[in-house]
Amino acid sequence: MNTKLHAITDANGRPLSFFITAGQVSDYTGAAALLDDLPKAKWMLGDRGYDAEWFRDALEQKGIKPCIPGRKSRSMPVKYHKRRYKRRNRIEIMFGRLKDWRRVATRYDRCPTVFFSALALAATVLFWL
């Protein structure tokens, strides 16, 4: 069983919201699901998987500037703030810390609800307690 974890974090890299999709599902599905959970922010950092015009437009309607590099297959390159994009490592560090919990890293749970519960428990203990 393969899954993708989509997360919203604050500026310090602490998780605020999660969404799990199947591994073969596009990142656009996770982006659309978490769009309503976005807090007020100036910038949104994301990787190339979240590069879509509709997502960029939705962020700008919320008053958030997207800092997402364009996909390699784009015909017109997209400008983004490269120095600010380097701060995305905080998100990767958050995922790494979650995977320190063996249950989360190896995904022993077959049921997505139970796995999501273990993930929420790990995030609460690691980042909020």
d(Cα 59, Cα 127) in Å, to the nearest integer?
26
pTM of the complete model: 0.85
Please report the domains of the chain, with CATH numbers, ordered by start residue: 3-128 (3.30.420.10)
Give residue-wise pLDDT tens across range 66-107: 999 998 888 888 888 999 999 989 999 999 999 999 988 888
- 8 A C-beta contact, residue 10 and residue 16: yes
Give residue-wise pLDDT tens across range 1-54: 688 899 999 989 999 999 999 889 988 899 999 999 899 999 999 988 899 999
